[in-house]
Each structure stands twice: as C-alpha cells, then as structure tokens.
C-alpha cells in the first residue's frame, strides 16, 4: 500500500505552489528578458535550496527557457496566454493521479473507496479549470483585484 502524499496546508504540493509562483512572477514582470534565479527567489519566497529543482523542471518541460552568461537567467518559454496552470503542474508532476483518497492504493469504478465518485468529480473540475486557465488570465485577475504587488509578509 502506498503512503498518501502530504500536501502541507493545501491541496497542492509545495513544489506545485512554488512553480505556480515562479511562472506567475515571470509573467507579471513581462519576462521577455531573462530574470536571475536570485531575483526570482527574492520576489517569490521560494526557498533558495529548492529553487534550482523547480526551475530545472520548468525548463526541461518547456515552460521556461534559460540563458547562461552575464545577461542570463530565466524567462517564459512562450507568451503567458499560451501557458496554462495544467502545463506548470504537469511540469512538476503535480497533476491529480489515480491514488485513492483513503490510501487504499488505486481505486476505480469497479472497486471504489467511499470517496471515489466525489474525488473523480473534483479532479475533473480541477483539471478543466487548470487546462483553461492561462497565466494571462492569472495576470488579468490579479490586476482586477490589485494583487500584482507581492505581499509585505513572507509567503508560506
């Protein structure tokens, strides 16, 4: 039996939340120019020891591009309107899977756990939202809610 994955204080792993923060920040600053890892860390609050792992995954999956050298750094690999939340979650391996909410292994319609039908409905709705939400949508929403400036308190 597989041990259920821990998601900290929310439904997403820390890696997923960090990846979403990084891509949202690069979209916010209009990353046509590379942004240094140090600066990404300062503005997103992603722990410095964790940042390279997340950046590498995002680059390998084509969400970000990297450039070495004096003017190097990281930037979006394509326009924010073409990058979805699902792209980012997929890049860091955080899409919903077939694991059982009760930790019973893989349940299915023929051998469901008590939460199976509800979990399937949630996962379906979540994936529809993730596939249809781009980082241009994220920026538009942030603008409407005056949420483009990072909070003064340290992100969790």
Name the nearest CA neighbour of 100 among 120, 80, 81, 77. 120
CA distance 152 to 142: 16
Q: Please determine, for residue 153, whether its predicted confidence score (pLDDT) is greater than 80.
A: no
This prediction's pTM: 0.81
User: How many other β-carbons are positioned within 10 Å of the β-carbon of residue 7?
Assistant: 13
CATH number of the domain residue 81 falls in: 1.10.10.10
What residues are paired with 99 via a beta bridge?
106
Q: Please determine, for residue 6, whether its predicted confidence score (pLDDT) is greater than 70.
A: no
Query: Are the C-beta atoms of residues 92 and 16 closer than 8 Å to each other?
Result: yes
How many domains are contained in the chain? 1
Residue 73 lies in a domain: yes
CA distance 74 to 47: 17
Residue 25 lies in a domain: yes
pLDDT tens for each residue of 38-73: 999 999 999 999 999 999 999 999 999 999 988 789
Question: Tell me, what's the pLDDT at 10?
Answer: 55
Name the nearest CA neighbour of 86 among 12, 4, 139. 12
Q: What are phi and psi of 81, to 5 degrees?
A: -70, -15
91 or 143, which is more confident: 91
147 or 35, which is more confident: 35
Residue 101 lies in a domain: no
CA distance 58 to 92: 7
Residue 109 lies in a domain: no
- Containing structural domain, residue 31: 14-93+135-144
Q: Please determine, for residue 7, whether its predicted confidence score (pLDDT) is greater than 50.
A: no
Q: Please determine, for residue 2, whether its predicted confidence score (pLDDT) is greater than 60.
A: no
Residue 65 lies in a domain: yes
Residue 2 buriedness (CB in 10 A; 0-12 / 13-18 / 19+):
exposed
Name the nearest CA neighbour of 26 among 14, 43, 12, 3. 43
CA distance 140 to 148: 10
pLDDT tens for each residue of 121-149: 988 999 999 999 999 999 888 777 665 55
Residue 7 lies in a domain: no
């Amino acid at each position: 039996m597989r041990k259920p994955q821990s998601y900290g204080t929310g439904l997403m792993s820390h890696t997923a939340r960090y990846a979403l923060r990084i891509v949202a920040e690069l979209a916010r600053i209009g990353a046509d120019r590379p942004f240094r890892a140090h600066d990404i860390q300062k503005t997103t609050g992603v722990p410095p020891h964790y940042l390279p792992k997340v950046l590498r995954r995002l680059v390998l999956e084509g969400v970000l591009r990297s450039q070495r050298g004096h003017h190097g750094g990281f930037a979006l690999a394509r326009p924010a309107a073409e990058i979805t939340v699902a792209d980012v979650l997929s890049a860091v391996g955080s899409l919903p899977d077939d694991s059982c909410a009760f930790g019973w292994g893989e349940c299915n319609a023929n051998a469901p756990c008590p939460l199976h039908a509800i979990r399937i409905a949630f996962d379906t709705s979540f994936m529809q939202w993730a596939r249809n939400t781009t980082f241009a949508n994220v920026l538009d929403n942030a603008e409407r809610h005056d949420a483009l400036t990072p909070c003064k308190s340290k992100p969790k």
